[in-house]
Amino acid sequence: MENLFIILFLIFLASTIAVYIRPSQFLKNKTEPEIKKTKIGLIALTVVFFILFGVSSDASKQNKTQNKPDTSKSTEKTVEKATPTKSPQEIFEETLSKTVDSNMSYRGIKTENADPDRPKDTKMITVSVDVKSIFNKSSFLRTTGKVSSKVFQTVFSNSSLNGYDVFVWYYGETTDKYGNKEDGVILTYAMDKGTYSKINWQNFDQSNLCNFLEQEAKTSGTFDTGCKVLVNIQ
């Protein structure tokens, strides 16, 4: 449609120019008023052609825009497909990392077969945490007590892990008697499934967990539970 308008317009424009350049060839036997009217008519028709040509061009552009394939959705779908799905282990470790205090960071989890005296196919699980700084021993034990309580609940409640003994190890920068600095374990918590199942966690003083586990270890006379500070913390 647009091409047809262009062809007609060019023909008409050529005719109009010819009339103005050589009027005697096109307007023979016409009076002066008639010639004037003819020229005005040609000008009016030229204007009409311009308007129609403009409308036709706009309509053509709109059609092209509407018919243009929308690639944004297909791009989004491609990106979604390219995003890897997280494994249950990755999701679980993200959950563990959220149990850690802001002054600490989740380090990792290690799963091993439990000792022979444990129920068959159960696991021994160690969760490691990095400590950024320690304000004082009292506040540190309260904070780690709360963090360890959350870790124990998260691990034991995950039936797929089949954990029976769970440990929480806190790592920090230590200095030996020679002044050498190293990254080592500064505090450990240990709890077995039997002790875990006895605790009413909603009413339990989680900030006092270290002292509770120390007392449990003395009462039971075993190493199934316990809390040990391995460095001198003031």
Average pLDDT, the chain: 81
167 Cβ contact partners less than 8 Å away, ≥ 6 residues apart: 124, 125, 126, 127, 188, 189, 190
Boundaries of every domain in the chain:
2-78, 88-229
Tell me how far the alpha carbon of residue 89 is from its chain's centroid: 18
CA 137, 139, 143, 149 torsion: positive or negative? positive
String of b and e for 119-152 (b: at least 16 CB within 10 Å)?
eeebbbbbbebebeebeeeeebbbbbbbbbbbbb
Per DSSP, the three-state class of 84 is: coil
CA–CA distance, 100 with 102 (Å, rounded to integer): 7
Span 35-53, average pLDDT: 64
What pLDDT score was predicted for residue 232? 84
Span 186-214, average pLDDT: 95
In tens, the pLDDT along 72-126 reads 555 555 556 666 788 999 999 999 999 998 899 999 999 999 999 999 999 999 9
CA–CA distance, 123 with 158 (Å, rounded to integer): 12
Share of the chain above pLDDT 70, in %: 65
Contact in structure between 37 and 11 (CB atoms under 8 Å): no
In tens, the pLDDT along 46-79 reads 666 666 666 566 656 666 656 666 655 555 555 5
Contact in structure between 170 and 186 (CB atoms under 8 Å): yes
